[in-house]
Amino acid sequence: MTTAPMPEFPAGFRWGASTSAYQIEGATTADGRGPSIWDTFAHTPGRIADGSTGDEACDHYHRYAEDVALLAGLEVSAYRFSIAWPRIQPTGAGPANPAGLDFYERLVDDLLGHGVDPVATLFHWDLPQALEDAGGWLDRDTAHRFAEYADLVAARLGDRVKLWITLNEPFIHMSLGHGMGMHAPGRMLLFDAFPVAHHQLLGHGLAVAALRARGSGPVAIANNYSPVRLAGDSDADRAAGAAYDALHNRLFTDPLLGRGYPELPGLDTAAVRDGDLDVIAAPLDVLGVNYYNPTGVRAAEEGSPLPFEMVPLAGYPRTAFDWPVVPDGLRDLLLQLHDRYGDALPPIQVTESGCAYDDEPDTDGRVHDPERIAYLDGHIRAVRAAMAEGVEVTGYFVWSLLDNWEWAEGFTKRFGLVHVDYATQRRTPKSSYAWFRDRVIRR
Ligand code: FCB
C-alpha cells in the first residue's frame, strides 16, 4: 500500500456504505413479514456453511438507530440498504403491509435527519416464498408483481429516497441461485436458467416505469462485474473468454443499454417477447457497479456443459473468501464499460466494493484490519485512475457497513467496517472505519 495521500475526488462525490435486508435485519417474523426464499433455503440442512440462518442476523430491525449513528459517525454522504419485499407484501401480491413500510420510513427519516442520503435497493434476492411457489423468476408474472411492489414502496418513500436501485446483481441471483444451486432458491438449471435473467430485466424495466410514474428520484441497477483474465492464448481460450464475458458482464448490461442480448452459445431466448427489449432499455440515471475480483478463464475440456472453464488467478494476495485482491481489475472494468458502451453509458457509482478477513478484537478490544485498509486504498485509487482516463464515476460504496450474514457462508465471512459480535450484537468500529472517514471522506 502506498503512503501517498489519497488523490482528490470531485466535490459532491458520493461516499457510502452498503448492506442488504436479509443479511442484517433479523426479525424475520416481526410485524407481518412473510417468508422469503432465503428463509427457506437457510433453514434447509446442509445449505449454509455454518448451519446458521438470517433469523437474527445483526438484529438491525431493532437496532437501526444505533446503525444510523454509526453511519453518521463515519460521515458518509449515503447509505445503500435494501427493502425486504416480504415485509411490504408478505405473499408478494396484494396491498402493502403498513408496518413494513413504517420500518423503512423510520430508517429513511433517521438517515435524512443525520444528513445521510438513503439509497434503496428494491430486490436484494429475498423473493417472497409465495412467489417462488408460483414459479419465481422463471415465471413472467413475477416481473409484473415486482413492478407493483415498486409502486407501493415509491408511493410511501418516493419523495425521500435519493437513489433507487431496482435489482442487486441479477447475474449472481440467476447463476448461483438458479444455475448452480448454491444460493436460494437452490435450482440447478445451468443455461436453462436464462428466463430468470430475462424476467428480472423485464421486472427492472417495469419497475423503472412505476418509479418514474410516481415522480421518484434517480434510478439505477446494481450489476456484478468481473473482468476476464485469460489463462491461455489459444483461439479456444479467447473464445472461452468472450463467452464468459458475454455471460457475466454483458448479458444484463447490453439489453439495459439498448443493445439487446449478446451472442452466447447455449442461450435460448424463447422467453423474450415483442416489446420487452424496449421496456428493459428504459433510460437509467446511474449504473451501479459491484466489483470484487476478475475471473481467470480458459477453454473448457471436451464434453463440458459450459463453453469455458474458470481457473484461479495466481500471484495475488487473497481475502478470507480466497478471492484474489486485484485493484487494477476495477480500473480495467470501468475503462472497459466506458469503451464498450460510449455515450450510452450513464454515470457510474461503485455500489459495492470490499473484502472479507477474519477480523477479531485484540486483547484491548480494538479490531485492527490493515488488510481491509490496503484493499480499500487500492480500489479507491483504481476508481480515481479510471476517472482520470475519462470515466464518469460519481460514487463509491464500501461493502459493508457491518459484518453480516454472508449468504451460503453464514457468519463465517466478515466484510464490515464495523465488527459485530453476534452473541451480544455489540458493534465495534474497526480501524478501517476511522481510516475511511479520516483519509478518504474528510480530506
Ligand atoms: C455481493 C452481494 C452482497 C455480498 C457481497 C460480498 O455479491 O451483493 O450481498 O454478499 O457480494
Pocket lining for ligand 1, CB < 6 angstroms: 20, 23, 168-169, 172, 224, 290, 352, 399, 406-407, 415
Residue 439: count of CB within 10 angstroms of its CB: 15
Cβ distance 118 to 55 under 8 Å? no
Q: How far is the CA of 8 from the centre of ligand 1 (A)?
A: 28
What is the band of 4 on the pLDDT scale with cuts at 50, 70, 90? confident
Question: pLDDT tens, 348-404?
Answer: 999 999 999 999 999 999 999 999 999 999 999 999 999 999 999 999 999 999 999
CA-wise closest residue to 391 among 328, 351, 443, 346: 346
pLDDT of residue 266: 85
Active-site residue among 25, 132, 352, 406?
Answer: 352
Q: How far is the CA of 235 from the centre of ligand 1 (A)?
A: 33
How far apart (Å, rounded) are the C-alpha atoms in residues 168 and 85?
A: 13
pLDDT of residue 126: 99
Q: How far is the CA of 274 from the centre of ligand 1 (A)?
A: 33
The pLDDT of residue 2 is above 80: no
* Cα dihedral 432, 373, 407, 205 sign: positive
pLDDT of residue 168: 99
Residue located nearest, by CA, to atom 9 of ligand 1: 20
CA-wise closest residue to 208 among 276, 281, 272: 281
Percent of the chain with pLDDT over 70: 100
Residue located nearest, by CA, to atom 5 of ligand 1: 399
Residue located nearest, by CA, to atom 4 of ligand 1: 406
Mean pLDDT of 108-121: 99
How far apart (Å, rounded) are the C-alpha atoms in residues 122 and 207?
A: 9
Mean pLDDT of 335-356: 99
Mean pLDDT of 151-166: 98
pLDDT of residue 302: 94
The pLDDT of residue 265 is above 90: no
Q: Which atom of ligand 1 lies nearest, measured to the CA of 356? A: 6
DSSP 3-state of 395:
strand
Q: How far is the CA of 354 from the centre of ligand 1 (A)?
A: 9
Q: For a pocket test of ligand 1, which of 19, 252, 290 has the largest count of ligand atoms closer than 8 A to its C-beta?
A: 290
Q: Is 75 a catalytic residue?
A: no
Give the DSSP letter string of 3-18. -SPPPP--TT-EEEEE
Question: pLDDT tens, 39-84?
Answer: 999 999 999 999 999 999 999 999 999 999 999 999 999 999 999 9
Question: pLDDT tens, 186-229?
Answer: 999 999 999 999 999 999 999 999 999 999 999 999 999 999 99
Question: pLDDT tens, 289-319?
Answer: 999 999 999 999 999 989 999 999 999 999 9
pLDDT of residue 443: 84
How far apart (Å, rounded) are the C-alpha atoms in residues 21 and 28?
A: 10
Q: How far is the CA of 150 from the centre of ligand 1 (A)?
A: 22
What is the band of 3 on the pLDDT scale with cuts at 50, 70, 90? confident
Could you tell me which residues come within 8 angstroms of residue 17 by beta carbon, excluding any fewer than 6 positions away?
71, 74, 76, 79, 80, 397, 398, 399, 400, 401, 417
CA-wise closest residue to 199 among 168, 170, 169: 170
The pLDDT of residue 333 is above 80: yes
* Strand stretches in 124-187, DSSP E: 163-168
How far apart (Å, rounded) are the C-alpha atoms in residues 290 and 374?
A: 18
Mean pLDDT of 255-277: 95
Average per-residue pLDDT in the chain? 98
Q: Is 409 a catalytic residue?
A: no
